[in-house]
Amino acid sequence: MRAGQGGAYDVALAGGRHDEFGLHLRSSPGGTQLAVLSDARPGEPLAAIIPLDEMAHDRLLAIERFIRSMHRRHLPDSRLTDAQRRRLSHMLRCLDGRDQKASHFEVATALFGRRLVSAADWHDSAFRYQTHRLVRDGLKMVERGYRHLLRARRRHS
């Protein structure tokens, strides 16, 4: 993708995945997703339609990340901190273990390591309580809480 005539972005329409809405592309591997409506034509400028609702600010930031990624000037997604990403990863691993019928002890051992998780101290272990919280919060996230991840963190003034 690059700027074409008149500053319009030239999007390679050949790749991606087609469905009833149009073509779904990524600006780069792992980059921002773009949905191109079925009537878009190569060489013609694309438009972004942004509903002016409570998510408008987040959508504008996503478009900025998309445009920057087309120019290889990556703008990290700041909606989650590194600690939040790590915790979400742990929650998903806990849920995967649960789906595989692993015990909480087995999940904790996989997450934190055999050296730290002791079978002898398991009943009163901080790792036991942490694993239980990760499973509980992961289940809440799957049920209804995942959408809040899409909202940008706001600075309080």
Per-residue pLDDT in tens (0 to 9) along the chain, 157 residues: 444 444 445 555 456 777 777 777 765 565 556 677 767 677 777 777 788 888 788 888 888 887 887 777 877 777 778 888 899 999 999 999 999 999 999 999 999 999 999 999 999 999 999 999 999 999 988 887 676 666 655 554 4
Residue 4: Cβ-neighbour burial (10 angstroms; 0-12, 13-18, 19+): middle
* DSSP letter assigned to residue 152: P
pTM > 0.85: yes or no: no
Distance, CA of 74 to CA of 67 (rounded, Å): 9
